[in-house]
Amino acid sequence: MEKEDGLGLIQIYTGDGKGKTTAALGLAMRAAGHDFKIAIIQFMKIWNYGEIKSLRRLGIDLFRYGTREFVDPKNPSPIDFDQARRALSKAEELMRKGDYDVLILDEINVAVDFNLIALKRVVDLLDKKPHNLELVLTGRNCPQELIERADLVSIIDEIKHPYKKGVEARKGIEF
Amino acid sequence: MEKEDGLGLIQIYTGDGKGKTTAALGLAMRAAGHDFKIAIIQFMKIWNYGEIKSLRRLGIDLFRYGTREFVDPKNPSPIDFDQARRALSKAEELMRKGDYDVLILDEINVAVDFNLIALKRVVDLLDKKPHNLELVLTGRNCPQELIERADLVSIIDEIKHPYKKGVEARKGIEF
């Protein structure tokens, strides 16, 4: 074990550009190399991500909520609400148990922005973060109340995007 | 093999925020899950990164150049020049051989910005990119000539940074 005790921060990856979840995956991969115990909770979507196989190889635990469909922000389905709430409960549970060194809440910012989960519960989660836990939140449109509680906020913007040129999402690179 | 033939893009991660190399690592991890063949060339630094162990587990090849010291942009050492040039030669060689699906040139933008390698040679590299290769460049201060040739440029900025609050880099998270 190269692991050492230390301060865990609250990190947020937000912005309209690509790379938020990807950066969180890279962070998980780096931490895995130090034998940290890492969990990722997906709040908004379930795809057949290529990373699932890699996460398994690295011993990173993945908890998947959401559906295969994009959530309609104007009209989320009861399933969307249910899935996002279960994801949040799982986050609360894992934090309470304290088994993990790094906890990544993927797309939680969007779940809050879409009102699938209450901002107050997420604020409470951040306020109760154990000293040693590294907590990572991803997703665009991160609410100000969360940003204020973060130690590090990375905003990813894009200059160009291949989708705008008509290139479709490619297996192994974007998903 | 889930791999499929397709267009490979030129992606750039730049900006002053944290997460550029991390995003590239996440991209590599995702691609590894699809059994893509991936190489990462480090241009500027050699640390005992936690990710080295994870890269090995995922079958991602890593070519390390640079030194353990930070390069002084006003006075790079002969070793800095030599290492950066060897890294670029390796990139040219790997691209020519065509064995890889994804090639990540980590901190190459900085190597150009510090004039350790000639911008023109990197421009040539981009212009000669094989159709199927995904080419990823990271590092702050990316020259405009490279941005113009990219399909996707992600700019990572930061709002807050824990270093500014006096927190030191922590093993397993930042390196």
Whether residue B152 is contained in a domain is answered as: no
Please write the tens of the pLDDT for every residue from A59-88.
999 999 988 787 888 899 999 999 999 999
A165 close to A42: Cβ distance less than 8 angstroms: no
In chain A, alpha helices (H): 20-32, 51-57, 78-97, 108-113, 119-127, 144-149
Whether residue A165 is contained in a domain is answered as: no
- Closest-CA distance, B48 to chain A, in angstroms, reads 10
Which residues on chain B are in Cβ contact (under 8 Å) with A15? Answer: 157
Q: Which two tokens stand for residue B9?
A: 């893009």
Please write the tens of the pLDDT for every residue from B93-138.
999 999 999 999 999 999 999 999 999 999 999 999 999 999 999 9
* Boundaries of domain holding A110: 25-156
Most confident by average pLDDT, A84-88, B6-10, B62-66 = A84-88
* List of residues 6+ apart from A101 with CB closer than 8 A: A3, A8, A31, A36, A37, A38, A132, A133, A134, B172
Please write the tens of the pLDDT for every residue from B141-157.
999 999 999 999 999 99
Collapsed DSSP state (helix, strand, coil) of residue B41: strand
Whether residue B37 is contained in a domain is answered as: yes
Whether residue A5 is contained in a domain is answered as: no
Q: Check CB contact under 8 Å for A29 and B49.
A: no
d(CA B72, CA B70): 6
Closest CA relative to residue A3, chosen from A28, A37, A54 = A37
Instruction: List Cα–Cα distances, A28 to A59, A88, B34, B75, in angstroms.
Output: 10, 19, 18, 35
In the structure, what pLDDT confidence band is assigned to residue A165 with cuts at 50, 70 and 90? Answer: low
Collapsed DSSP state (helix, strand, coil) of residue B73: coil
d(CA B67, CA A76): 52
- Closest-CA distance, B78 to chain A, in angstroms, reads 31
Could you tell me if B36 lies within 8 Å of chain A, comparing CB atoms? yes
* Sign of the CA dihedral with A113 first, then A64, B156, and A127 last: positive
A106 close to A21: Cβ distance less than 8 angstroms: yes
Backbone angles phi and psi of A6, in degrees to 5: 175, 175
Which residues on chain B are in Cβ contact (under 8 Å) with A27? Answer: 22, 26, 173
What is the count of structural domains for chain A? 1
Beta-strand pair A10-14/A152-158: parallel
Q: Which two tokens stand for residue B158?
A: 């930061």
Q: What angle do CA A105, A109, A110 make, to 5 degrees?
A: 115
Q: Which two tokens stand for residue A37?
A: 């115990």
**A30 vs B25, B156, B161: nearest CB:** B25
Selected residues 69-98 of chain A with any CB under 8 Å from a CB in chain B:
none
* List of residues 6+ apart from A145 with CB closer than 8 A: A119, A123
d(CA A21, CA A45): 12
A49 close to B32: Cβ distance less than 8 angstroms: no
pLDDT the model gives residue A164: 46
**CATH at B126:** 3.40.50.300
Which chain A residue has the Cα nearest residue B150?
A160
B173 close to A38: Cβ distance less than 8 angstroms: no
Closest CA relative to residue B66, chosen from B56, B81, B53, B54 = B81
- Closest-CA distance, B148 to chain A, in angstroms, reads 9
Interface test with A, best of B14, B21, B29 (most A CBs within 10 A): B29
d(CA A51, CA A32): 14
Whether residue A3 is contained in a domain is answered as: no
Average pLDDT over residues A135-156: 95
Whether residue A103 is contained in a domain is answered as: yes
Whether residue A9 is contained in a domain is answered as: no
Question: What is the reported pTM?
Answer: 0.87
- Closest-CA distance, A29 to chain B, in angstroms, reads 6
Average pLDDT over residues B79-90: 96
Closest CA relative to residue B27, chosen from A19, A133, A34 = A19
Whether residue A167 is contained in a domain is answered as: no
pLDDT the model gives residue A6: 73
Q: What angle do CA B74, B160, B75 make, to 5 degrees?
A: 5
